[in-house]
Structure 1
Amino acid sequence: MGRLENKVALLTGAASGIGLSTAQLMAKEGAKVVIADYNEEGAKKAAEDIKADGGEASGIFLDASKADSIKEAVDFTVEKYGTLTIMHNHVGLTNLKKDLDVVNIDLDEWDRLMNVNTKSALLGSRYAIPHMQKAGGGSIINTVSIGAIDGDSTRTAYGASKAAVANMTKYIAAQYGKDNIRCNSIAPGLILTPSAEENLPQQVREIFLKYNALPYHGQPEDIGHAAVYLASDESKFMTGQMLVIDGGYTITNPVIADFNKLMNS
């Protein structure tokens, strides 16, 4: 407890799932948190639940496709709590019906995902950095994806947009490190959020589990704990890095699961 005492965090896209778990864990560690989400009702409820648990939080509306809305979220945070020292750019949209392979992808969807997933992280950082400079430093955390690392048969725009954020993380770290501002990213694998549990068929979950090095799926708090670490002074000598938290999904030769099955048959 208290690892984030006296810190103020703004988390975008945090009304549910990984973002919500991260906000709850940051609040438990002493941070004042602002939950900004398109689902304003969900953001406000999440904040009320945190306060009922003894933390300090506010929930506000955010349209991550609009620069003014992102700036307003940053301004609200500073006006409410006096500073901003943790910026968690967590927004990530996807569309399985339109974000397809390169030949068939809807180009309007490409533009939308690039604007929301990549530009929102740029703008969140852009508006947060001056306040972090005034505060004497801060930590920017960008949620990316294992889709930023490996290719896939679909979700081309999602993967490309998150790869752009992963690389932008290094640029931010390089440009503002002398101001004591760190920037790191987290690349989750399959995480069993309530939405994933509701929408992912068991067959899909088993495919991921087959190729995980570990014998279980990730939970939202697995990412939340990593974000707390990156937000805390425990990671004060770490910047420009990507934490891949995927149960070992991306570390192995892709045929190992099939070879193990063959050897044990």
Structure 2
Amino acid sequence: MVDLSRPLEGKVAIITGGGSGIGRATAKMFAARGAKVAITGRTESKLAGVVAEIEALGSQGLAIGMDVTDEASIAAGIARTVETFGKLDILHSNAAQTGAMFEDAAITDMTVEFWNKAFATNLTGSMLAAKHAIPHMIKQGAGSIIFTGSGKGLAGDLDYPAYGTTKAGLLGLSRYVATQYGKQNIRANVIVVGLVMTEALDENLPPEAQALMKEHNLVPFLGSPDDIAEVAAFLASDQSRYITGASIVADGGFTAHSGVYADMQRFMAHAAAGAA
């Protein structure tokens, strides 16, 4: 019988981009539900605080300096996780290019350097993490791979074309991983994330834009990292064993409605006020 309060008991996870935001929240939630957790980032020393939080929850944590644009670094980080904890059950590929997002604007102004940097981190890095995690999962007979996607990957927009295109690519990558390795009990899914108030996003998105996004959410609030961590923890557990090759949208309903939803709300409110 699975202890539903600790559905990840005995499992080992590695989370790329685990030092802040969604990665940090997911690391803590995995730990609270029984998993041993390795977190990665470019600077190992910056991860120490999250490891302390994991250990305070009664689990074991491991900080690994990893550059997801470097295959050797990824291979070494995953190998270190397996050497430390004995196996690997869960990969949450969460690292993303979030710095210098002002460069990610009009296609006609896009530099090849920024475009390639976004792909190297967001898409190629996720492929390489899966490449080096899958053999360990096959060896033990099961595994769950979770990619952090974005609503930017579902539709065109006026900004972030490089970021959005990489996130669209993750949808295809997850389906290929699920198809190629499903019979070996490896699952792969994408969490399509809406606006979540992480530190990085708060720094890059003006308050006026945040207000516009909230207006289009069907729930009366913006998401938090814990909202996404809940979905990741479910996909990491055996409770989701029949879900693979799927895209789980966690965006407060942002992509579920007509594109003129907020405008029509204002129009109807004005009409009602006039009739009164």
CA distance in 1, matches of 2:126, 2:247: 15
The C-alpha deviation readout for 1:82-107, integer Å capped at 9, x for no partner, is 00010111011033222222211111
Alpha-carbon distance between aligned partners in 2 of 1:196 and 1:183, rounded to the nearest angstrom: 26
Q: Does the Cα contact within 8 Å between 1:65 and 1:116 map onto a contact in 2?
A: yes
TM-score, L = length of structure 2? 0.93
Where do 5+ consecutive residues of structure 1 fail to align? none
For the 8 Å contact 1:64–1:91, the answer to whether it is kept is yes
SS at 1:103's partner residue? helix
2:225 maps to amino acid: P
Equivalent residue number for residue 242 of structure 2 = 237
Cα pair 2:31 2:57 within 8 Å, conserved = no
Q: What amino acid maps onto 1:235 in structure 2?
A: S
Segment drifting more, 218-227 vs 54-63:
54-63
* Stretch of structure 1 that moved more, 21-30 or 250-259: 250-259
Aligned to 2:274: none
Give the structure 2 partner of residue 172 of structure 1.
177
CA distance in 2, matches of 1:191, 1:219: 5
**Structure 2: gaps spanning 5 or more residues:** 271-276
State how far apart, in whole Å, the 2-side matches of 1:160 and 1:74 are: 27
Tell me how far 1:44 sits from its aligned partner.
Answer: 2.0
> Contact 1:5 / 1:29 at 8 angstroms: preserved in 2?
yes
Match of 1:61 in 2: 65
Q: CA deviation at 1:199?
A: 4.6
C-alpha distance in 1, partners of 2:105/2:207?
Answer: 22
SS, match of residue 177 in structure 2: helix
Identity %: 38
Local SS of the residue matching 1:127: helix
CA contact (8 A) 1:212 1:249 kept: yes
Determine if the alignment matches structure 1 residue 257 to structure 2 residue 254. no
1:124 aligned residue: 129
Question: Which of the numbers 246, 251, 276 marks the counterpart of 1:246?
Answer: 251
Which has the higher mean CA deviation after the structures are superposed, 48-57 or 237-246? 48-57
The residue matched to 1:144 in structure 2 has which SS? strand
- The amino acid that maps onto 1:80 is T
Retained in 2: the 8 A contact 1:192–1:219? yes
Do structure 1's residue 18 and structure 2's residue 16 form an aligned pair?
A: no
Q: Does 1:3 align with 2:7?
A: yes
Q: TM-score, with normalisation over the residues of structure 1?
A: 0.97
Q: Please give the alpha-carbon distance, in whole angstroms, between the structure 2 residues aligned to 1:207 and 1:33.
A: 36
Larger Rg over CA atoms? 2
Q: Is the 8 A contact 1:16 1:42 kept in 2?
A: no
CA distance in 2, matches of 1:109, 1:119: 14
CA contact (8 A) 1:7 1:86 kept: yes
Corresponding position: 1:159 with 2:164: yes
Q: Any runs of at least 4 consecutive aligned residues in structure 1 with deviations exceeding 6 A, and if so which? A: none
Contact 2:101 2:204 in 1 (8 A): no
- Report the count of equivalent residues: 265
Q: After the TM superposition, which residues 204-223 of structure 1 pair with which residues of structure 2 at under 5 Å, given as runs?
A: 204-223=209-228
Q: 1:112 to 1:198 in 2, by over 3 A?
A: closer
Residues 39-48 or 124-133, more deviating: 39-48
Task: Give the equivalent residue in structure 1 for 2:108.
Answer: 103
Deviates more, 1:47-56 or 1:104-113: 47-56
